[in-house]
Structure 1
Amino acid sequence: MSVWSYKGKRVVVAGCFSGMGEATARELVALGAEVHGVDIKESPVPLASFTKIDLRDPASIDAAVEAIGGEIDALFNCAGLPQTFPAIEVMKVNYIGMRYWTEKWLPRIRKGGAIGIITSTAGMGHMLHAREIGELIAIPDFADAVAWAEAHPDLVGDGYAFSKEVSSFWTMLMGTITIKQGVRINCVAPGPTETPMMPDFESVASAKMIDVFIQPINRRSKAVEQAYPLIFLNSDAASFINGHILNVDGGFVGGVMTGQIDIQGSIEKAMASI
């Protein structure tokens, strides 16, 4: 079988209702995978099964894992909340619940399998908060992790950027752990992407501010342009990629890190034009 193929593979996609998760699920179906999806709303994709889930609730996560059951070859974590929701709910869905869900699936992922997570370039500052993130990651219990987040409101902020920082850092850390059972874990960090969530981001930061982060390609991504690299990372073609954050951002992070993009100046210019 081709390393690019998903024929005969059993996979689960979290967040398959819309946006990047829907695009991922739809493409996986086209590639021949047996796709089981979960979300808080039913997916329009013709799936092998759909199960309703609320990542804010451990009991809902437990029930969804049991409902799907069996072993899988790959897990795709595409669910997320924007910062228009309460910060603690954002933390639950984007990191705490996602982690709990992933760890519930880990014993069921076949050797040679993979986990792919959607984070964000909003989490590119994860190393600046490495000590604090390490404290949170060291807490395995769902309720205790929520309590930690509630006790650090200044650090958590609106929940979005910090949850993506933690998810990115956790991906790198878990790469040294999951590989011991033959399972790789990676994430994609998208730049601004046209999904049904975009109006929420624009209501908080404005379209001009968001477009600071589309440099140097100067356009927003399509949802499927994020699905393709995520599907690659979980394929056999990526068998030696593990614990990696793949920036799918048109070159933004590279431009910032090499000094080609003046992010502070760009933000000030955008703010002046609002």
Structure 2
Amino acid sequence: MTGETLSYAGKRVVVTGCYSGIGQATARLLLDLGARVHGLDLRPNDLPLDGFTPLDLRDVASIEAAAEAVEGRVDALFNCAGIPPGPPPLDVMKVNFIGTRHLTELLVPRMGSGGAIANVASNGGAGWSRNVPRLLDLIGTDSFDTAAAWFGANGDDVPAAYSFSKEAIIVWTLSLSSTLIKQGIRVNCTSPGAVQTPMLDEIERVTPSELIDVMAQPIGRRSDAAEQAVPLVFLNSDAASYGNGVVLPVDGGFLAAQAIAQRGAPASPGRR
């Protein structure tokens, strides 16, 4: 791999959630790599973006206006926007999955062969494999409104909207990767663990800090947003040209340790 394959010089990219956290860190890194960045969020940041459009992923009109405001081709899309547990469950679903999907579907026609999409999921969605039939029902809906109606009818059977929304992002990524690759467009996602961002501050208002810190093991610390931006930028770069349908844990080894523990193997290295 050379420096050129990670370069974004001349590429036109879209970053949702650019105001703060992982989205802002991703936009900053892309600017450093030469990208022309169009940011989408409720509020602008102070980065020298190529363009910015307000976006409310809970609202169809806002999503469609934002997509229309993005000019020209799109070489890469970074879906970083998200909200934590706490708001109404339907709002959580709209921002974290339903609205994100709708925006993506509007921007895909602007992408050509060599394009790439990177979504931000979460370790909170790690249980997706236990819910595949129900998740496929949701993903099989054909519009923003029908997806919202599906959740309205089935939300009482969903134990936690935040986790379910992140499970949906993962299963949608896997499904979309097998269809868009026929157009030469790759689709991947990251699965962050505990990331010290304003969103985590909101999560700590409803979740005890000691539970969050469990997810910071075995590395023993929370990550910062920049540590999450680098894998996202890599996945959408030419350096990852054969990477498609990847769900990449960026969690300091939490899921790996859990997988070993569930199988009764020792979590520490060494032989017996």
Q: Do Structure 1 and Structure 2 share a fold, with TM-score over 0.5?
A: yes
Question: Hey, what's the Cα distance between the residues in 2 that align with 1:78 and 1:21?
Answer: 5
Q: Which residue of 2 aligns with 1:269?
A: none
Q: Which residue of 2 aligns with 1:12?
A: 14
Question: Hey, what's the Cα distance between the residues in 1 that align with 2:157 and 2:129?
Answer: 14
Count of aligned residue pairs for this structure pair? 262
Could you tell me how far 1:155 is from its partner in structure 2?
A: 3.4
Q: Which residue of 2 aligns with 1:265?
A: none
Q: What per-residue deviation string (whole Å, max 9, x for no partner) do you get for residues 158-186 of structure 1?
A: 41100000100110111100100000000
Which residue of 162, 165, 178 maps to 1:163? 165
Which residue of 134, 139, 142 maps to 1:132? 134
1:145-224 correspondence to structure 2 within 5 Å = 145-224=147-226
Off by >4 Å, runs of 4+ in structure 1: none
Range 188-197 or range 62-71, more displaced: 62-71
Question: Hey, what's the Cα distance between the residues in 2 that align with 1:19 and 1:261?
Answer: 35
Structure 1's 249 and 155: CA in aligned 2 closer, same or farther, altered over 3 A? farther
Q: Which residue of 1 aligns with 2:268?
A: none
Could you tell me how far 1:84 is from its partner in structure 2?
A: 1.4
Q: Which residue of 2 aligns with 1:49?
A: 51
Query: Does 2:87 correspond to 1:85?
Result: yes
Instruction: Determine if contact 1:75/1:115 at 8 Å carries over to the other structure.
Output: yes
- Structure 1 counterpart SS, 2:198: coil
Amino acid at match of 1:189: S
Question: Hey, what's the Cα distance between the residues in 1 that align with 2:156 and 2:235?
Answer: 34
Question: Hey, what's the Cα distance between the residues in 2 that align with 1:201 and 1:186?
Answer: 25
Amino acid at match of 1:234: N
Which residue of 236, 243, 257 maps to 1:255? 257
Question: Hey, what's the Cα distance between the residues in 2 that align with 1:172 and 1:219?
Answer: 29
Gaps of 5+ in 2: 265-272
Question: Hey, what's the Cα distance between the residues in 2 that align with 1:202 and 1:150?
Answer: 27
Could you tell me how far 1:260 is from its partner in structure 2?
A: 7.0
Amino acid at match of 2:206: V
- Structure 1 counterpart SS, 2:113: strand
Question: Hey, what's the Cα distance between the residues in 1 that align with 2:261 and 2:156?
Answer: 29
Q: Which residue of 1 aligns with 2:75?
A: 73
Could you tell me how far 1:203 is from its partner in structure 2?
A: 1.1
Q: Which residue of 1 aligns with 2:114?
A: 112
Q: What per-residue deviation string (whole Å, max 9, x for no partner) do you get for residues 126-181 of structure 1?
A: 01000100111110111111011111223333411000001001101111001000
- Structure 1 counterpart SS, 2:116: strand
Could you tell me how far 1:261 is from its partner in structure 2?
A: 9.7
Could you tell me how far 1:77 is from its partner in structure 2?
A: 0.4
TM-score by length of 2: 0.94
Question: Hey, what's the Cα distance between the residues in 1 that align with 2:240 and 2:159?
Answer: 35
- Structure 1 counterpart SS, 2:147: helix
- Structure 1 counterpart SS, 2:77: strand
Seq. identity, %: 50
Which residue of 241, 244, 256 maps to 1:242? 244
Instruction: Determine if contact 1:24/1:228 at 8 Å carries over to the other structure.
Output: yes
